[in-house]
Structure 1
Amino acid sequence: MFYSLTMLSNRYATLISGMLSGFIFAPYFLLPAIFPLSLLCFQIYQALSWRHAAIYGFIFGFGHFLTGLYWISIGVSVYIEEFWWAMPFALFGLPLVLSCFIAAGCYICWFMRNSKYYHFVFCVCWIFFEWLRSWIFTGLPWNLLGYALSFSEILIQITSIVSIYGLSFIIIYSATSLHHLLVKQRPDFVIALTTAGLIWSIIIAYGVFRLHSNPTKFSNIQVRLVQPSIPQLAKWDLEQFWQHLDLHLSLSQAPGNPDLIIWSEASLVVPYTYPAIKYKLLEMLNNTGAILLAGGITDNGKQNDATQIYTALYALTADGEQLFEYHKSHLVPFGEYMPLKHIIPLKKLTPGFIDYTEGTANIVNLDKFNLVIRPLICYESIFPNEVRVSNNIADVIINVTNDAWYGKSSGPHQHFYISRMRAIENGLPMIRVANNGISAIIDPIGRITKKLDLNQIDFVDGFIPEKLATPTLYSLVGDSTTLVIVFLVLLIQFMIKSLLSYRTVRYCKA
């Protein structure tokens, strides 16, 4: 009876710890909430069986993803009358699925609980399963621990070398070092704490050096970011289409001399090729002398094929020439298409009955400005390895998005800070334009030079920052650079342990 009550209280503590850890991300950045991970590490160490270990991991994971991803259910609630049945799946189902990754890691760790490397293995397992869920079943690399530090320009510079997963590793290694105190391993705690302190010193020194060595430099290409903040329900209301178009045109034609005017994802919810729409667009472009980059819905010129539509980013000149058309290559499951539609005959969440078609990831050119662009549409910006591009190849990342789905929740803030990390990893400036969300001009090491906040209806003008002179290690090698920090931690830990052992031997001889 006593054991059962103890188990129950432990599981409640695990759930609360997991829920608290969800607040380490934007907009809260409650960093002390990361230390309850030590409790999970301790519980796995003490678990009586692998089943108990997996259960602890599952419960912690459920709490972690429940508070970290609750905002997805807000997106589903936009069309609540049609998708009311999906609310429990969005709020509870997704955290239940994602918690299986943490449970699997805890299951493996239990078998290593008696090893002197248990703590290290726990951290490696966590990072491995972060990486695994970034691509398996199309992937969802959200709530990676490294994003907990995305508020700090200094601390996140290291991702240019070791990737976001490497930053996650040092965070979990530091946070779970307290585990050694809980199991009364004071020498190991001193070693882990000293190792973490040295690593953080290196990270801080590198961040300060990189920021100081790379002042923001600007090109002569001026961009205008247009953020109309149209509510999601109104956005697809065809009766309000012309009103929304006029708002875009009005903001675009405000005083100034932009070379590029950028509109957000799906700013045009019907193809721009319709004569009345195209006429208004060309009139605006003739008035401003700019090129328009707009997110929209397109049939890729196949007007007789009603089975293929794309979410796109295209460039249009004042004489009606389309300079490029990029199609979103990583679509949102259930949002833009229904997985296993032949088995599950349900409609996707976004308006319309036809699923979007997947495009091909690539770069595009604006020859007039000698500018090579890596386009990203919304969800694509969360996948580090898919975004990865050397600055020998591209000059700028342009990310158009629409976070109006998620209201004033933490979702738009998290999405912004996640997207910003891609600039640092690749040494490329980023221009991010949201219908509603956070629009910004970001330099290649993550400095925000211009910004429009959530719910702001406005535009902002600024020059595109220049890219870094040399490629980052991450852009050349990819996610495997995480091993740099893993082996560095192991090396420092071994050296400190050897030094302490040597001093102990000398003391005993004396």
Structure 2
Amino acid sequence: MSMTTDRRPVATLKARLSTDPWRAFGLGLLAALALPPFYLLPLLWFVVPALLRSLARAGGWRRAIWIGWCFGFGFNLLGLFWVTEPILIMARQFWWAIPFAAPGLAAATACYLMLPALAVYWIRPVRLTAAAAMVVMFAGVMVMANLAQQFLFTGFPWNFWGADWAIPGRLGVIMMQPAAYGGIFVLTWLTIIAAGLPLLGRRGWIGSAVVMLLWAGFGLARTAGGRAADTDLTVAMIQPDFAVPGSFTQPALQARWQRDLAMTREALAAAGAGPKVVVWPETASPALLQTDAAARAAIAGIAGTTPVLAGSFRFGATGKVYNSLIAVDGPGPAVAWYDKWKLVPFGEYTPKWIPFKITPGSGFSPGPGPRTLHVPGIPPVGPLICYESIFSGEIVDKKDRPAWMLNISDNAWFGDSTGPHQDFATTRLRAVEEGLPLAVDTNSGISAMIGPYGTVRASLGLDRRGILVHRLPVALPATTYAKFGLTTAGILSFYSVAVAVILLIVSITL
């Protein structure tokens, strides 16, 4: 007597397990091509519906989570491959980390895609209205996932879909304007809604076109008054293009110092008459400007009482080390300083939940948080140091709103990879969100003066030594996002989920 077993269901399950995750991984790679500096945004009108279809037919919640993670892994693997660049620079010491850095970080950040994937599977379509519910649910829970990514495990708010719209030129300025009301999060939400509606078929494509027209119309209307006027303050930024990690021998440090001073002299000459300020990028000064009177006197010998805002290290009273911006306006004591408070995990410090040390010594200590500096001769300024500029809604002291923002950075560690371009695009959004002009001064580029609508007034590209001089634009009144910050993102996420649930209920009862 023979027995046969129908293996078709098992074979079908194995086939789906093998194809859907790989398809999701490929879709994630395609979605990453919409990020800066590629900006292939039309791909999202294929990616989002395809991903939602895969989640709807997942066959189980565990597989939906797996598909979401595979999509996130592909998306972040391509979007974050630039993190390997600093390791390659110090390959003799950290060669072992090369195979793990980008894949490991991509695997961790991919976890944030699991919750939106699960939500979509739960609300998978029965009728057309439920398909619409899937799109709205995915958009709302993605905003929730972005908020989690900004705060959990020290926070790493990178590769948000809203940054796709920081396109160079006028088009980017137009499409970024909703950020003044909901930050980068509303741009992510709008992107998913517009790109996901084609899931509904012909009517969905029409709806997507309407969304895009309204979006562009809003941007045109908000910027119709033209660019903001300029103040009488000239900001002169030096871009010294120091090599990294650089030598710490006395001759090398002295050569670095002399370049700082020589470029300061050039910057002052280029700035001409009238009120001005000179800016040095992150850690540009090899001297400890807060305590080194001779160094301040050397600067004063060139700049006089013109304020110089310089990246420098600072030692606190208890011996803690800070990555700081020091303001000097003569040979006397520093008039103000700001300590970086959003430190780079594993680069500037080792998180407490890691059982072994990675950063040398004790690493840097975090400052107290956003602060407005009041330096004689210049409008109140809100400093940011490098990594801090990616934290939407957390960069300005709301009780003491500045007249402009200044981001000093050192992107030389990332070469001419996608990293500096992505960082600049995300940083540019901060100007729109806060309604404030933003000066960006980096060691090796991209340095720029950005107006409060996100318009790049002037810039210096990557891997160049030079001086960037431009008048400081006038700030706009505080935006809705500047007033309410991340609360707007939370409200957007909550109401999106509520609307999605209502649409699902309607589809069931019809």
Q: TM-score range by the shorter chain?
A: 0.7 to 0.9
CA drift of 1:373 comes to 1.1
The question of 1:461 aligning with 2:469 is answered: yes
TM-aligned CA distance change 1:429 to 1:265, over 3 Å: same
* Counterpart residue number, 1:120: 136
| Equivalent of residue 284 in structure 1, options 302, 321, 340 | 302
Residue in structure 1 matched with residue 85 of structure 2 by the alignment:
74
Give the 5 Å matches for 1:160-309.
160-180=180-200, 186=201, 190=203, 192-234=204-246, 239-254=251-266, 255-256=269-270, 257=272, 259-272=276-289, 273-274=291-292, 276-286=294-304, 289-300=305-316, 302=317, 305-306=318-319, 308-309=320-321
Contact 1:391 1:471 (8 Å CA) reproduced = no
Shift of 1:61: 0.6
Alpha-carbon contact 2:194-2:211 (below 8 Å) kept: no
Residue matched to 1:131: 147
In 2: Cα distance, 1:271 partner to 1:54 partner: 50
Distance across 2 between alignment mates of 1:491 and 1:126? 15
1:472 aligns with 2:479: yes
C-alpha deviation, 1:474, in angstroms: 0.6
Aligned equivalent of 2:337: 325
Q: Is the 8 A contact 2:137 2:496 kept in 1?
A: no
Q: Which 5+ residue runs of structure 2 have no aligned equivalent?
A: 1-10
- Residue 488 of structure 2 is matched in structure 1 by 481
- In 2, Cα distance between equivalents of 1:464 and 1:62: 41
Moved more, 75-84 or 110-119: 110-119
- Report whether the alignment pairs 1:140 with 2:150: no
CA separation in 1, counterparts of 2:249 and 2:208? 53
For structure 1, which runs of at least 5 residues remain unmatched after alignment?
A: 181-185, 499-510
Separation of aligned partners in 2, 1:453 and 1:121: 40
CA distance in 2, matches of 1:11, 1:488: 27
Select between 222-231 and 25-34 the one with higher mean Cα deviation: 25-34
In structure 1, the partner of 2:435 is 427
Query: Do the aligned residues in 1 keep the contact of 2:182 with 2:481 (CA within 8 Å)?
Result: yes
Counterparts of 2:198 and 2:362, CA distance in 1: 52
Alignment correspondent of 1:374: 382
Correspondence 1:378-457 to 2 at 5 A = 378-389=386-397, 393-457=401-465
Paired with 1:71 and 1:314, the residues of 2 have a C-alpha distance of 30
**For the Cα contact (< 8 Å) 2:293–2:332, is it kept in 1?**
no
Structure-2 residue corresponding to 1:507: none
CA distance in 1, matches of 2:352, 2:499: 46
Alpha-carbon distance in 2 for matches of 1:237, 1:53? 55
1:157, 1:70 → 2: CA distance?
Answer: 29
1:64 aligns with 2:82: no
1:164 maps to a residue whose letter is I
Report the Cα offset of residue 463 of structure 1.
1.1
> In the alignment, what sits opposite 2:60?
49
Counterpart secondary structure, 2:356: coil
Residue 504 of structure 1 is matched in structure 2 by none
Do the aligned residues in 1 keep the contact of 2:165 with 2:175 (CA within 8 Å)? Answer: yes
**Alignment TM-score, normalising by the size of structure 1:** 0.87
The aligned runs of 1:80-159 (5 Å cut-off) are 80-114=91-125, 116=130, 117-151=133-167, 152-159=172-179
Residues 322 and 365 in structure 2, CA contact (< 8 A), matched pair in contact too: yes
Q: Which residue of 1 is the match for residue 5 of structure 2?
A: none
What displacement does 1:487 show? 5.5
The aligned residue for residue 20 of structure 2 is: 10
